[in-house]
Structure 1
Amino acid sequence: MSLIELIAGVEDHEKTLTVFNADKETIATLREQFHDRNLSVFGEHTPSGKPEAFAVLADGDEFVTAAAIETILDSNADIDPTAEPQTTDPAFDGDAYRPILDHLDETMFTSYDIDQMVAASREIEDRAWRIGKGSIHSGFQKLSIIAEQMDIYEQLAGKSGLDVHAYAAPDADVPDHDTDLTIHVERSDEIERTWFVAYDGAGIDVNKCALLAEERESRAFYGFWTYDPSTVDWIIDHLESTYGLIESR
């Protein structure tokens, strides 16, 4: 399976959230709250109108979890995965993902522009910087794009405990750098078409996160971010097993 096939698989695997005994305004709020997730929200009423507003998450015909509406609204308050990095970042606060959100590991988005992709990437880069250990793998599509991000990636590579890898197709010379940044130069369709940042969390599952997207239109990206450790592990394993080192200094 390729990176592009993984994106397509996540895109096709939509969950449903059925909201029972809630008013139209609440349902509309939840639809807006989850608009960038691979999730459909529906409203229903039980014959007795009880219990009061609650929601059921399903994966196809399979029950996943249920929760009170108030709990879902509270647990997702103020979370913005594309916000500018902060010292304490609510988008990376594992305690916030309860009890519905922790079952929505892959967050699908559509038609992100460059600014949105950069903001989402910065969240993962910031986490790797703050933890300062492990490995981070980033796909830039082209070498000329890496050159524009060298300041940030040299800072990351300057962390003694952090192993930093960048992937790109050759359209320019390999940028000069003085740190242990590893640059993989690859003539590969998936490297040219995808933008990704994957951090292994220094081997700790709750710290693992990744962003993976495909450029389907000119500078418009379709993909997902994930906090699911098995998905992050698969992305990194795929990169390490598929692409060898060509240029590292």
Structure 2
Amino acid sequence: MAGDVPPSLRAFFAEADAPNRSLALVNRKEPEAVQRLLESAFAGQSVSVAERQFPEEGDDVVLVIEDTDVVATSPLDEVMNAFLLVNSDLYKTGTSGLEDGGAPSVLTALADVVFDLRGYPASNKEKLLLILMSRYIERLALSSGGGRLRSTFQRLSRIEDERGTREVYRKLAESGVDVHVYGQPGWRPDESLDLTVHTGTSDDYRHSWCVAYTPQGGDGTYAALVAVETAPNEWRGMWTYDRDRVTRVDRYLDERL
């Protein structure tokens, strides 16, 4: 129900109401292996992938099709450079996605779709979707220079251990964004890092992956990623820009963690 905080993070998945969406690789000139990479990245998900020929479109374009309407477009090379041809180390060791072009539109447009995603070595690409969208929401917060960001890390020490994550949250702490970080105890930021730290050992602390941004004064883009670890290195997750849903994710993290 609108405004209510659900009993668990998993309950947000039951609310997912995404329309039927598919990805189309249009007028491909790149090798067939690229098409196979895109298909394998979404294998087993509700988002299907097909190769199409559309004379009115340019070459090597990826589309999101909702029913029969095109709702997002990205050049294939953008999808390759941000997703298909990289691994998570690009984001863990650097600030990719924060200072460059960010996540491709065809990926950010897959809002309110529930994904079941595996990390390495089971999959090289699936979990990268969550990393990309986390960085996208962090970038949104940083570009606004205000508002509130809540992020769960399972282990707070990841902020220190992952050079890219540390740099992203240093920039956020200096930006005027009210940043709250959540995780199991064992690490505290030094005084120069203006973060509000929340620690605990409950299931949500140990097995959640959330990034929720609420803009200052309610003006701007609301965005949240919610993911729950369902087995070792396997995640069920989604992202949303629905204002009510993001507000409720923010409230859940504030009240339950």
Q: Aligned-pair distance for 1:197? A: 0.8
More helix by share: 1
Mapped pair 1:85 → 2:97: yes
Q: Aligned-pair distance for 1:225? A: 1.4
Amino acid at match of 2:233: R
State the Cα deviation string for residues 51-94 of structure 1 (Å, max 9, x = none): xxxx874xxxxxxxx63xxx45x6466575x654265747486x
Mapped pair 1:169 → 2:184: yes
**Take 1:119 and 1:56, find their aligned partners in 2: how far apart are those partners?**
22
Q: 1:67-106 alignment to 2 at 5 Å?
A: 67=69, 71-72=70-71, 75=73, 80=79, 83=83, 84-85=96-97, 89=101, 91=103, 105-106=111-112
Change (3 A) 1:241 1:37: farther
Q: Aligned-pair distance for 1:177? A: 4.0
**Take 2:102 and 2:157, find their aligned partners in 1: how far apart are those partners?**
33
CA RMSD of aligned residues (A): 3.9
Q: Aligned-pair distance for 1:128? A: 1.3
Specify the alignment match of 2:116 in structure 1. 110
Query: For 2:209, what is the secondary structure of its paired residue?
Result: strand
Mapped pair 1:221 → 2:250: no
Specify the alignment match of 2:27 in structure 1. none
**Take 2:243 and 2:169, find their aligned partners in 1: how far apart are those partners?**
23
Mapped pair 1:196 → 2:202: no
Q: Aligned-pair distance for 1:206? A: 4.8
Q: 1:125-144 alignment to 2 at 5 Å?
A: 125-144=138-157
Mapped pair 1:209 → 2:215: no
**Take 2:99 and 2:189, find their aligned partners in 1: how far apart are those partners?**
30
State the Cα deviation string for residues 22-50 of structure 1 (Å, max 9, x = none): xxxxxx9xx96x94897466xxxxxxxxx
**Take 1:213 and 1:3, find their aligned partners in 2: how far apart are those partners?**
8
Amino acid at match of 2:208: T
Contact 1:169–1:186 (CA under 8 A) maintained in structure 2: yes
| Pairing partner for 1:184 from 198, 207, 214 | 198
Bigger Rg over Cα: 1
Identity of aligned residues (%): 28
How many residues align? The count is 200
**Take 2:75 and 2:103, find their aligned partners in 1: how far apart are those partners?**
10
Q: Could you state the TM-score of these two structures normalised by the residue count of structure 1?
A: 0.63
Mapped pair 1:121 → 2:134: yes
